[in-house]
Each structure stands twice: as structure tokens, then as C-alpha cells.
A and B are shown apart, each in its own frame.
Chain A
Amino acid sequence: MAHVAMKSGEVPRYDANERLTHWIVAILFVLLTASGLAFFHPAFWFLSGLLGGGVWSRILHPFLGVAMFAFFAVMAVRYWQDNVIKAYDRAWQKRLSDVINNRDDGLPEIDKYNIGQKQLFWTMIVTMILLLVSGIMLWRPYFAGAFPIPLIRIAGFVHAVSAFVLILGIVVHIYSAIFWVRGSMRAMTRGTVSHAWAMHHHPLWYRRVTGQGHHTTHHPAAHATAPSAAHQAAHSAPHSSK
């Protein structure tokens, strides 16, 4: 997807279909988390009200779960190649404490996703599969009756632990995207990020999609006219923020 056309000052990151899929999964995740936590611990029972009470939560939760798995599967197919962990990701990870403390100077250059995002991706793959399989075993009145009770007990435990891990991962995901790494949210709402954001957080990806070779001086792309936008972007990169 190199040399993509882009509006002035923006680098496209997710097209409309990608955003739609993501938000369908996200909405399903919220509904599933609310109803699932309600079953998990009495402290969260009030969340069962979101889907209309305990019985409705029990009825809807599995259907929503299958839907989330299906839409997530589309994302998994779409993004798995971008989430293969590379040597530079490991190098980046060695500086995790710097990343956490917002000392981003001289971080190893990484591609479309950092290793935290990649690990979340694979965690989601594993937990979603475990949730689907164990969820089907627990699913009343349709499927649970077909499984031996000892297996259903294991499924209950596996379902709870997988959900816990997934929710933890999504807490980090939501925090990073909305609050921590500024400029990220726009990628999933409008589909684009700024040149500066792309260059700073994902330089290898930035060059890949803009066809940009190496660091150059900054040319604000704001004055680029529409027909030459792609060309302009391909030859300009904002300086990094450091």
C-alpha cells in the first residue's frame, strides 16, 4: 500500500471498512464485557442491566460473542502480517521503561505496530479462540447439554480467565489509544494520522506508505494541493518531535 494518496497533512491508516469492523468489534466487546462481568462477580451484577437484566444477558451474551469472534476474525486476517514480531520490535521492547516514561528519543524504528500492539493482537487471537470454544460448551440451552459436565467446569474456568486477560489487554489498548498516545484515536475515527505522529511512532510504516526514503527536513504538507498531495507527501516528512 505504498504511495497512497492522502489529504494534506494526513497519513491514511485505516480505511472506512477497517474502521467499521473495528468499531463493531469494540461495541460488541463492551456489551460482552458488561454482561460477562455481571456473571463473573456479584460486584458487577448491576452491569447485567445493560442488556436488559440477567436473563437477557444470558440469552444475548453468546450470540454477541459469536458475532464478535466473526468480526474479529476479519481483523485477524487483515492484520496478522503486520503483527509478526521482528528483531527491531525486540530492540524496541528493551526500552519499554523509557516508552512508559515518555522518553521516546532514539527508539528503534518500528513498523505499523509496536510490540505491545503486536502482543495484544496475538493475545486477542488466543483468548478469542479460547472464549469461543469454551463459550460454546457453556451455551445454554443450545450446546452445553452436548458436553460432559466435567468439561463444562473446565470451560467455565477457561472462559473466565481468557476474558480477564482479554479485558486487561483492552484496558491498556483503550488507555493508549485515547489518553496516552495523542493523535492515535483519529486513526480509528477519521482514518488518518498526522505525518508527525506516523514518523514519531511508526517510522518504518511511515516510509513504507509514503515511499519516503530516509529522514528529510520537515515540509509542512498543508499547502499541498489535492492533485499533488500524494507526490507532496511522498517527498515530505515532518521532523520528529524530539
Chain B
Amino acid sequence: MPSLQSLDVQKRSATTTMSPSVRGADPAVAKLIDISKCIGCKACQVACMQWNDLRDEIGVNVGVLDNPGDLTPYSWTVMRFSEISKPDGNLEWLIRKDGCMHCEDPGCLKACPAPGAIVKYANGIVDFISENCIGCGYCIAGCPFNVPRISKTDNKAYKCSLCSDRVKVGLEPACVKTCPTGAIMFGSKVDMIRRGEKRTNDLKERGFQNAGLYDPKGVGGTHVMYVLQHADKPELYHGLPLDPKISPWVTLWKGITKPLMALGLGIAVLGAFFHYITRGPKEVEDSSNKGG
């Protein structure tokens, strides 16, 4: 949301030169969401609304506890409730706090054509600088987690900012602050990994053999991580991807294609000019209509 000068900018969308980076690097931060501790109370959703001054439209019951039924420009986090039938006949309720994962290699930023509309701070937070947003929706195509939403009112893209404004002044994100069970934690990424691994080991001892930390390498790791009871099957958690990556189509479109085609166009124009200089025009005698 806001452009926070006090957080070092590491990457800016549609920018080929270095971002301002004279200040010492902030340590990478991370939010750790321990799904095994979540009770689905949605206090985090309320805290997010409250801190960010967001009020979604009053929705309708979509038949499950998810409310609203999806992420929206006004709801940057949504509890996703998944009921799983276990092989032993029991049911398991998996509740995942959905929202921006703050990828180390953000697909939204890669796809964004508007200079500085998406930035990644040195601490790892990926933020939309909304006044630079042009509303093209490429961030939606770039995101491997289907997170950004475009407002129908102002045609700008929105998503969780990891409360970059709070983090800037040394506070934890609003959702972390409010979580009554301590299922959402915040700190340096190193600490959060350590914590997640410790919790994973506890879960394993308690019979969840496939418990694990979700910090997918395909996007360079994320600054929002999950402790999953079933890390071997993240899809159980409302389709959390097993191996999220920026789509190869986006990589092609926003990667090698750009310099190659820009070069191609330059060569074509220069080629035409050099052709004119070396070969000259085709002039037909007796033409009363010389030139263009």
C-alpha cells in the first residue's frame, strides 16, 4: 500500500536499474502460520479490516464457513475451511489463513508493467504501491497463489501488505497481534524457520508423520510460511500448491522476450536506416512523383 522510504527497497516492478539501497539491509522477516493451532475464529480477518481500514460488502453465505467466499480488494486475508475425510473414516478440519505469501521471487512484481507499482523491500515484504498501479491485472497472471484482486471501484490491485506500515515501526502485523491461540507468529525469517521446524518435530512426535514447514523453494521461499500437518499434500489446504512457481509462460513473456524483442525492434529500425545509407532508394526514371 504505502511507499515506505524507511524500509529499503530491493526490487521495483518494471525497473531495469537498481533500487535505492544505500541503507544497510534489513533482516528478512516472515510470518509463520501454524495451521495446527488455528481455531478458525477469523480474528485475524477482523484485525486486518480494522488496521487497514477496509470494509468489504456484506456478502452472502456461500454454504461453508469461508466468509467472504474469496479474497477481495477489501478482504486481504480469508480463512479457508477444508473438510477432509481421512482413510480411517474420521473427518479432519483444515483451516488455512489465505493471503499474500510474500514470495522471495514475486511473480506479481515480475509481471507488473508499471514502474514502481509493486516493490519488494529488503525485509522481504512485497507491497503494492497503489498510486502507481494502472489496473492491467498482470499481477494476477504473475501470481502463483491467485492472490491479487482488482477493485471494481478504482481498478487498482490490492493484497495483503504484511502490514508493512506496522513492521516499519517495529510492530507485528495486525493479524499476528490479534491471534488468540498464537497460531500466527512474526519475526525474522531465520527465527520463524527455526520455530516452524521445532513445531514440525512436535507434530511428528504426536503422530503427524508428514508434518512440515511450507516455504516453497519454487518461488525462492516465502515470507509467509505455514506449519502444515500434511506437508506432503498441501493441496488439502484449499488447493495450496505443492510446488508453486512463476508460470513458464510468464517467465517467457516477462523474461527473455523483453530484451530480445526490444533488441529486435532496434535492429530492424537501424537496419532500415543502414540499408538506406548503403543502398539508397529505388528511384524510377521519369517519375514525376519523386519521394514520399
On A, residues with C-beta under 8 Å from B are: 9-10, 38-45, 54-55, 57-58, 100-102, 104, 138, 140-141, 144, 149-150, 152-154, 156-157, 160-161, 164, 167-168, 171-172, 175, 177-186, 189, 192-197, 200-201, 218, 220, 222, 238-241
From A39, A149, A200, B284 is in contact (CB under 8 Å) with A200
Q: List A contacts of B115 (CB < 8 A).
A: 42, 45
- Tell yes or no: B282 within 8 A of A by CB: yes
B241 cross-chain contacts in A, Cβ below 8 A: none
> A150 contacts which chain B residues (CB < 8 A)?
247, 249
Instruction: Please indicate the chain B residues that have their CB under 8 angstroms from the CB of A42 in the complex.
Output: 14-16, 113, 115
Please list 7 pairs of residues, one from A and one from B, whose beta carbons are closer than 8 Å in the complex, sorted by A's number. Answer: A43-B262, A149-B140, A153-B141, A154-B249, A156-B141, A192-B289, A196-B285
Q: How long is the Cα–Cα vector from A170 to B253 in the complex, in angstroms? A: 22
Task: Identify which of B15, B136, B264, B281 contacts A140 (C-beta below 8 A).
Answer: B136
Closest A-chain residue to B269, C-beta based? A171
Q: Check if B90 is an interface residue, CB within 8 A of chain A.
A: no
Interface string of B21-40 (1 = CB under 8 A from A): 00000000000000000000
Query: How close is B134's CB to chain A, nearest CB, in angstroms?
Result: 4
Residues of the B chain whose Cβ atoms lie less than 8 Å from the Cβ of A9: 288
**Least Cβ distance of A102 to chain B in Å?**
5
On whether the beta carbons of A40 and B113 are closer than 8 Å, the reply is yes
Residues of A near B114 (CB, < 8 A) are 54
- The bracket for how many chain B residues form the interface is 35 or more
CB nearest to B257 among chain A residues: A160
- B282 to A104, Cβ gap below 8 A? yes
Select from chain B the residue with minimum beta-carbon distance to A154: B249
Chain A interface SS verdict (over half): helix
Q: From the candidates A54, A179, A241, name the one contacting B286 in the complex (CB within 8 A).
A: A241
Which of B111, B268, B290 sits near A168, CB closer than 8 Å? B268
Contact with A along B249-292 (1 / 0, CB 8 A): 11011000111011011001100100110011111111111111
Which residues from B are CB-within-8-Å of A186?
Answer: 289, 292
In the assembled complex, B50 has its CB within 8 A of some CB on chain A:
no
The answer to whether A171 and B272 touch (CB under 8 A), given A150-B247, A183-B287, is: yes
- List chain A residues, Cβ under 8 A from B285: 196, 241
A161 closest partner in B (C-beta)? B257
Asked if B179 is at the interface (CB within 8 A of a chain A CB), the reply is: no
Q: Chain A: which residue is nearest B258 at the CB level? A: A41
Q: Out of A101, A177, A189, A201, name the residue touching B279 (CB < 8 Å).
A: A101
A191 to chain B, nearest CB (A): 11
Q: When the two chains form their complex, are residues A41 and B262 in contact, meaning their CB atoms are under 8 A apart?
A: yes
Chain B 101-113, CB-CB to A under 8 Å as 1, else 0, gives 0000000000101
Which 8 residue pairs spanning A and B have beta carbons closest together?
A: A185-B292, A175-B272, A54-B134, A153-B249, A157-B253, A241-B285, A140-B137, A39-B113
Chain B residues, Cβ within 8 Å of A160: 253, 257, 261
Q: How far is the CA of A182 from the CA of B261 in the complex (A)?
A: 29
Q: Does B155 contact A (CB under 8 A)?
A: yes
